[in-house]
């Protein structure tokens, strides 16, 4: 079976974005094996930009979630330090605050896991483009060296 590398500028998995895609942009990250060297460079740059943007967005989200967890824990600590009232309303508020802390911690952990998975996926895609670009450069150098060597008949 022969390779289709270099034959296609738009491989099969280069599809229009869906409803949830930002600004209706086209789904990027086509399979690097089917691309020419100029498209691989373009897609590698796009993958690296997407990875950097994802890292910035994730850092903001994790920072906000961490601040929320810290504030809830500080509020819960303040309630424990100052004491709890004797009524059932005070106990209900305490349980609500503890439940909010639990929900915030679970959401924080879920955010960390989801962002870690997204980062790994984008990083793997960028590495694929780097690898393909290296392969294409090696092929180009081999072809160039082959053309320079004199043919002996």
User: What residue spans define the domains of the chain?
Assistant: 38-130
The reported pLDDT for the residue numbered 30 is: 57
- Token digits of residue 71: 């504030």
Question: H-helix or E-strand containing 99?
Answer: helix 88-148
Q: pTM (2 decimals)?
A: 0.57
* Distance between CA atoms of residues 131 and 99, nearest Å: 48
The reported pLDDT for the residue numbered 8 is: 44
* Cβ atoms 84, 91 nearer than 8 A: yes
The reported pLDDT for the residue numbered 10 is: 45
CA distances (Å), origin 105, targets 72, 78, 113: 10, 18, 12
The reported pLDDT for the residue numbered 152 is: 54
* Distance between CA atoms of residues 48 and 42, nearest Å: 10
Selection from 28, 57, 62 nearest residue 45 by Cα:
28
List, in sequence order, the alpha helices (H) in 14-87.
37-82
* Distance between CA atoms of residues 122 and 88, nearest Å: 51
b/e 102-119 (16+ beta carbons within 10 angstroms → b): eebeeebeebeeebeebe
Low-confidence ranges of the chain (pLDDT < 50): 1-21, 24, 26-27
The reported pLDDT for the residue numbered 106 is: 92
The reported pLDDT for the residue numbered 9 is: 44
The structure tokens 């373009």 sit at 42
The reported pLDDT for the residue numbered 71 is: 92
């Amino acid at each position: 079976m022969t390779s289709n590398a270099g034959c296609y500028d738009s491989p099969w998995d280069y599809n229009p974005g869906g409803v949830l895609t930002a600004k209706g942009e086209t789904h990027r990250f086509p399979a690097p094996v089917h691309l020419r060297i100029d498209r691989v460079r373009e897609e590698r740059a796009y993958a690296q930009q997407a990875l950097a943007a994802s890292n910035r967005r994730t850092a903001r989200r994790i920072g906000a979630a961490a601040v929320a967890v810290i504030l809830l824990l500080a509020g819960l600590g303040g309630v424990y330090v100052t004491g709890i009232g004797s009524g059932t309303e005070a106990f209900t508020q305490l349980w609500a605050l503890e439940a909010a802390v639990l929900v915030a911690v679970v959401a924080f952990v879920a955010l960390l896991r989801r962002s870690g998975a997204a980062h790994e996926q984008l990083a793997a895609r960028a590495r694929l483009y780097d690898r393909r670009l290296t392969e294409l450069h090696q092929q180009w150098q081999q072809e160039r060296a082959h053309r320079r060597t004199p043919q002996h008949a």
